[in-house]
Structure 1
Amino acid sequence: MSYPGYPPAGYPPFPGYPPAGQESTYPPPGQYPYPSGFPPMGGGAYPPAPTSGYPAGPGGYPAPGSYPGAPPPGGAPAYPGGQGFGAPGSMGFPGYPQPPAQSYGGPAQVPLPGGFPGGQMPSQFPGGQTPFPTQTDPEVFPSYPAFPSASLDCSSEPATLTQGTQGTIRPAANFDAMRDAEVLRKAMKGFGTDEQAIVDIVSTRSNDQRQKIKAAFKTMYGKDLIKDLKSELSGNMEELILALFMPLTYYDAWSLRNAMKGAGTQERVLIEILCTRTNQEIREIVQCYQSEFGRDLEKDIRADTSGHFERLLVSMCQGNRDENQTVNYQMAQDDAQRLYQAGEGRLGTDESCFNMVLATRSFPQLKATMEAYQRMANRDLLSSIGREFSGNVENGLKAILQSALNRSAFFAERLYHSMKGAGTDDSTLVRIVVTRSEIDLVQIKQVFSQMYQKSLSTMIAGDTSGDYRKLLLAIVGQ
């Protein structure tokens, strides 16, 4: 049964209302036609009294709880801000304020006590409130110190290892390995080399896609792409291109081997890789080092380093750091006390205590330990390590703590010092840009700008030249 003009716009149809034969007894369109005193559309409270529940009336009123988005009988628990379902101005009733579409999607998806629609918590509640703590809530998540270095201030960058990280290179859509292999072949064929074509390909493909291009090239032409590239390129451009075509684990293993072979050792490379990688990454590097170079990484470390630095790197290459993300604050307090007694609180230094704590605790746990140490000793742990240690072991221990506090800031500082002053440490520049390009180079760029008041791309452009500069800037992005 229908009634002309009813229900008014914005109200849902109620089947069977008004009853047949009684249409003429109801008020004209524009008022809600219920004898129980419902207000005209757009005014007054709906329902008439919060305590009366959802009204059950003659002629087919919907049963309590059945109306889409309506509250159960008697209302529901309070919504953020103290409003309940069914209270004036709350959600779930036609003609009354609805939640933003981007947050909830309509009254039929009002989050009830059993959970939120689709298992997803709304990003924001009415009035901007949320009943859940955020990481900025000091009552729930204690604040950690910013990256504590005399020359740095990264307090605006969250101290995190994985959350929200993003690379500048992502897998290309509509990828065709054979087509890319053909483009590279044409770029190297005949006199001269079309470096721009090479830059366009390698800077817009993920590492996994580059491995497929390499395989397609050998299938199509019976030649090794890497050998062809080496014959066409030279210098820093060659080093950068070859690094991009190495699988990431192999590149780390190759970098470690290259740092230890021959006369002298590049300790900064050992620190950068072994003190910043995850357990799984380190175990894969150790395995790759053995399979590709026929050597034991731990034995090579023992042969090329000594003392407490050797012990620290041996601990790192075990890949056994605790990776539980839950923080034990009592343990943090105990570890802070232990480290103080092993260093600042005694004559001499108990190096093994520092090695044990920094090599085994999870990064979130180390952050909490640093905060506890700051409160107890009234100075940060990095400063204490600088007073108690020197040389490579000092750099290694600091790298662990800096990586725990803000890994993006650690790499940003390394990039800055690779270009600062006269000359450029191109190997470090290439290694960090390549290895972080698919992980967190976006965050590294942001922190770099905050720390040094200039963009990473600006500094690269000023320190490099030619096709080498073009390819670096293409990877880093503007």
Structure 2
Amino acid sequence: MDPYRQGQPGAPPYPSYPHMQYAPPQPYMHNIGFSGAPQSFGMPQPYAGMQHPTPYPQGYPPQPGYPAQGAGYPSQPSPYPTQPGYPQAAPQPQAYPGYPQGENPYESQQSSNQYAPPPQMAYGQPTQPSHAIKKPRPTVVPADPFNPRADAEVLRKAMKGFGTDEKSIIRVLSSRSNAQRLNIAFEFKTLYGKDLDEDLQSECTGHFEEVVLALMTPLPQYYAKELHKAISQMGTDEDTLIEVLCTMSNHEIGIIQDTYASMYRTSLVDDISGDTSGSFRRLLMSLCCANRNESYDIDADRARTDAQALLRAGELRLGTDESTFNAVLCQRSFSQLAATFREYESVTGHPFEKAIKNEFSGDIKDGLLAIVKSVTSRAEFFAERLHKSMAGLGTTDHQLIRIIVTRSEVDMEDIKEAFEAKYGKSLQSWIEGDTSGHYKKCLLALIGCYKP
């Protein structure tokens, strides 16, 4: 257990789905996804949390790779929208921005489908209530109506006998949420006594197999695997470390650390510390502490003070005081950082990003820029990551797969829009030019550009 979070008051029973409180995670009963707040006025938006009763069966043993029931997590609300698949910290009573007396604007929209996830969360301006509530736009939404047994039968038929019906596999898996896919896997084993993952692995090949297996993995386990691969391979995949640790909330980082320790019997902090060095290692160590202030409040005086401190630590001195940049960017809330960046630009006449590019280089520069971009436009950050995975000679397939799988249930429509605005061509056209076969069709289906 992370010593920074152990024993904190208000720790809830361990739930397996955001904004719900119920039994520990069950086999095939987890959801994955990851949410990035849509941006307005250059600031990440807070959300209004919700609670719903569990839709899942009870009484199954805990899923390997998850912390034990009763593990403590930070009780403060987070300005980050929580990913589907992460256990939710202790709920905090709060009003829905723009609605009187805390009225839930989505209560009437709740589905009667027992497998449906909670409604999308509302987003409002951190500094004051706003009637203009914008939600992230996913490309994969839960199927309604949903019949997991019928889907299990379709998948069994697609893999039984000679040959494989890849089209049916893509049609089912790309049009169900991860929670629904894992319910399908549970029904599959109930009906046929076989693991759906194993059958899919034996019937699919290459990058298509990689996408399919990623779709069937709970998010904390998936990210733990990606981080372990980034550290344990020859050399270090710094891009993966940056993408994961620089964009997540305290709660999500803590869950990944617990999952990593359970899966690999070693500490994520120790593994990262042994595989990185210098200012970049100190940045990652600070992020692993999961101690960012996550309140919604903005302190204008603090923003001015931090902007001046960053200016003195960088552009107004010979050399750079990296510790000041590290302390501000790893401690302040995203709302507070947005105010600091605006104050910095008003004083210097240029964006804070330019200061980082002038003062830093290498991995530490990339890490700090990832934090800044997460504050100003998370959709654009992931659009840049997708472009980088396909630009130049060859394709970084594992990065392309990871982003599309994890963002498809969150804000892929926003990412597609940001991609085309920045690069002048659609994400669909880039994927079609860089991939082929069933792998290409599955990716296109996940971004809403192909219907099998």
TM-score w.r.t. the length of structure 2 is 0.70
Distance (whole Å) between structure 1 residues aligned to residue 288 and residue 213 of structure 2: 25
Which of 386, 389, 404 in structure 2 is aligned with 1:418? 389
CA shift at 1:400, angstroms? 0.3
Deviations 1:125-182 (A, max 9, x none): xxxxxxxxx97xxxx99xxxxxxxxxxxxxxxxxx9x952121111111212222112
Identical counterparts, % of pairs:
50
Letter in 2 for 1:331: R
CA shift at 1:116, angstroms? 7.3
Which of 149, 152, 162 in structure 2 is aligned with 1:191? 162
| Number of equivalenced pairs | 329
Letter in 1 for 2:288: C
Distance (whole Å) between structure 1 residues aligned to residue 195 and residue 312 of structure 2: 58
SS in 1 for 2:377: helix
Indicate conservation of the 8 Å contact 1:445/1:455, yes or no: yes
- Report what 1:228 is aligned to: 199
Deviations 1:24-63 (A, max 9, x none): xxxxxxxxxxxxxxxxxxxxxxxxxxxxxxxxxxxxxxxx
- Report what 2:273 is aligned to: 302
User: Within 5 A, what are the aligned runs for 1:113-262?
Assistant: 163-262=134-233
Please list every run of 5 or more consecutive structure 1 residues that lacks an aligned counterpart in the other structure.
1-114, 122-133, 142-159
Distance (whole Å) between structure 2 residues aligned to residue 255 and residue 350 of structure 1: 32
Task: Name segments (4+ residues, structure 1) moved above 4 Å.
Answer: 115-121
CA shift at 1:119, angstroms? 6.4
Distance (whole Å) between structure 1 residues aligned to residue 443 and residue 326 of structure 2: 37
Distance (whole Å) between structure 2 residues aligned to residue 212 and residue 297 of structure 1: 30
TM-score w.r.t. the length of structure 1 is 0.66
CA shift at 1:379, angstroms? 2.2
- Report what 1:457 is aligned to: 428
Letter in 2 for 1:418: S
Deviations 1:209-264 (A, max 9, x none): 11111222222222121111111111110111111100112111111111111321
Letter in 2 for 1:260: I
SS in 2 for 1:333: helix
Letter in 2 for 1:257: H
CA shift at 1:421, angstroms? 2.4
- Report what 2:52 is aligned to: none
CA shift at 1:120, angstroms? 9.6
Indicate conservation of the 8 Å contact 1:301/1:310, yes or no: yes
Higher relative contact order (CA 8 A, sep 6+): 2
Letter in 2 for 1:259: A
Indicate conservation of the 8 Å contact 1:202/1:210, yes or no: yes
CA shift at 1:273, angstroms? 0.5
Distance (whole Å) between structure 1 residues aligned to residue 273 and residue 401 of structure 2: 27
- Report what 1:370 is aligned to: 341
* Residues 216 and 401 of structure 1, relative CA distance in 2, 3 Å threshold: same
SS in 2 for 1:208: helix
CA shift at 1:117, angstroms? 11
- Report what 2:313 is aligned to: 342
Q: Does 1:444 align with 2:415?
A: yes
Distance (whole Å) between structure 2 residues aligned to residue 366 and residue 163 of structure 1: 21
CA shift at 1:475, angstroms? 0.6
Deviations 1:277-310 (A, max 9, x none): 1222111111111112222110111011111111
Letter in 1 for 2:416: K
CA shift at 1:318, angstroms? 2.0
* Residues 203 and 116 of structure 1, relative CA distance in 2, 3 Å threshold: closer
Letter in 1 for 2:298: V
Please list every run of 5 or more consecutive structure 2 residues that lacks an aligned counterpart in the other structure.
1-98, 106-123
